[in-house]
Amino acid sequence: MRVHICAVGRLRAGPERELLDDYLTRFDRTGRALGLGPAVVHEVEDKKGGGQEAEAVLLERAIPKGAVICALDERGRVLPSPEFASKLGNWRDQGTSDLAFLIGGADGIAKPLRARVDFKLSFGAMVWPHMLARVMLSEQLYRASTILAGGPYHRV
């Protein structure tokens, strides 16, 4: 199952980029034997300043046809890591070929796009910068793959 992180904004070189790349490399290595990955980041940028609606159009273009869509949204479900791993495994086991995670810009994801997603995931009641959300998601993808593989990374 290919994983797509469709995010508004460009992540420049620096500590966040290094962490993102590191966790996605780990996920690709661990997930390959489990039928997970590769993970690809699709960055979109509204250079005309059209707001959420314009960002939604760009995000929709980045979503592969037929993908299961999961939006990172503060109103979404908060899942413990083992439950997130199980959800990822279930999508894979149901024959999902593409899974797209959406990360909106500073104002979030436009309501019409949010309304058509398959699942909304929250990293808690706090709002996180969208650049850090990418890193947090990539770490959770790696953690989920190690949980599914029975590895020692995740400790309870």
Q: Count each helix (H run) and each strand (E run) in the chain, helices first.
A: 5, 5
Annotated domain spans of the chain? 2-149
Q: Using the 8-state DSSP alphabet, how is residue 125 labeled? A: S
- The whole-angstrom separation of Cα 114 and Cα 52 is 11
The CATH class that applies to domain 2-149 reads alpha beta
Half-sphere exposure of 98 (CA within 13 A, CB side): 14
pLDDT tens readout for residues 27-80: 999 999 999 999 999 999 988 888 999 999 999 999 999 999 999 999 999 999
Residue 156: the pLDDT is: 67
pLDDT tens readout for residues 120-135: 999 999 888 888 999 9
- What pTM was computed for the model? 0.95
- State which H helix or E strand residue 7 sits in: strand 2-8
